[in-house]
Amino acid sequence: MKAAKKQTRIHGIREVKANLSRFISQARKAPVVITNHGRPEAVLVNVQNMDPEDVILFTSPEFQSALRYEPKKTISAEALLKKYSK
């Protein structure tokens, strides 16, 4: 028997609001993207087996910003050696 493939679902905010319990159950299997006027607004994600601290960190804008790769913020190994070998 094949395992069911986890697939993100996309639903409108009104539908989710009217059936929240159902969508929370769905989020246990795969993330649920909630749209507002057709645009992604939020995501329901199962955090049942996560520590509260991890959930807070996972949802922190500061943490998400730190994870974003920005080439202009990178520095080469050569530049680091020059900076700290003086």
How many angstroms separate the CA atoms of 27 and 24, rounded?
5
How many angstroms separate the CA atoms of 11 and 43, rounded?
10
How many angstroms separate the CA atoms of 42 and 81, rounded?
43
Query: pTM above the 0.75 mark?
Result: no
pLDDT the model gives residue 79: 77
pLDDT the model gives residue 38: 92
pLDDT values of the chain reduced to their tens digit, one per residue, 86 residues? 455 556 878 999 999 999 999 999 999 999 999 999 999 999 999 999 999 888 888 888 888 777 777 777 677 778 777 777 76
Going along the chain from its start, the domains and CATH numbers come out as 9-84 (3.40.1620.10)
How many angstroms separate the CA atoms of 18 and 38, rounded?
17
Beta strands in the chain (DSSP E): 9-12, 32-36, 39-44
